[in-house]
Structure 1
């Protein structure tokens, strides 16, 4: 009789220990709905990724021999095209730089632009204002996170 009592006590302790390993309540409705909707969506996206990979591999298998056959024509054509695009972009950049430089010189001689030191002061003030606003936003975010942490600690 005493052995049975001892066995029951040990069994009760064992079941109490396993109960603490598992949560006392099941998943919420939101969690169940999230899994039910996102699991099929994830599967569909995985299937689409596999189909895309398969299509890409087939396309590469078909295109590689064509690239090898036509490479004496394609490589110089690609180089020429790349150099032409780089030339147009460089030309545009030089043109914008020239126009902005001429505009600055004309405004400087007209006197409509302030001196360089005035411009630097203006830039400093704007940088200080921006830094102040950024500091304020950072402080507000920190306070918001702290409040949420306190609310989370209470529940």
Structure 2
């Protein structure tokens, strides 16, 4: 038995696909550069401010807990209010259309 070989249909890439690949490569490189600079800046800021966090931790920890509780309460109140308005609007439409 002989070896069967399939002919490959070679197509040349279009100008649009080549241009798209080049632009996508440049965009990805730029975004990776921005991510690296952002990470380096965040690390430097973290290192610079760590002594302040250690010194002020007796104040910052209770303030953070309080802020978290207040944010949670406001989010819960907003969600409950939005749900109540939705139910009232649904009930109004249900009663006026039937």
- The structure with the largest alpha-carbon Rg is 1
TM range (shorter): 0.5 to 0.7
What displacement does 1:44 show?
1.4
Alignment of 1:108-123 (within 5 A): 113=95
TM-score normalised by structure 1 residue count: 0.42
Q: Work out the number of aligned pairs and report it.
A: 85
Give the number of the structure whose residues are more often helix, by fraction: 1
Matched, 1:73 2:59: yes
5+ long unaligned stretches in structure 2: none
Instruction: Please give the per-residue CA displacement for 1:53-101, whole angstroms capped at 9, x wherever unaligned.
Output: 111111111222221111100011112222233344445537x75xx68
TM-score normalised by structure 2 residue count: 0.61
Structure 1 residues 84 and 32: CA distance shift in structure 2, 3 A = closer
Identify the residue that residue 22 of structure 2 maps to in structure 1. Answer: 36
Whole-angstrom CA distance in 2 between matches of 1:35 and 1:53: 27
Tell me how large the CA RMSD over aligned residues is: 3.3
Whole-angstrom CA distance in 2 between matches of 1:89 and 1:26: 56
Alignment of 1:66-105 (within 5 A): 66-91=52-77, 93=80, 97=84
Identify the residue that residue 43 of structure 2 maps to in structure 1. Answer: 57
Whole-angstrom CA distance in 2 between matches of 1:67 and 1:60: 10
What displacement does 1:38 show?
2.0
Identify the residue that residue 24 of structure 1 maps to in structure 2. Answer: 10
Larger RCO, structure (CA 8 Å, separation 6 or more): 2
Structure 1 residues 28 and 53: CA distance shift in structure 2, 3 A = same
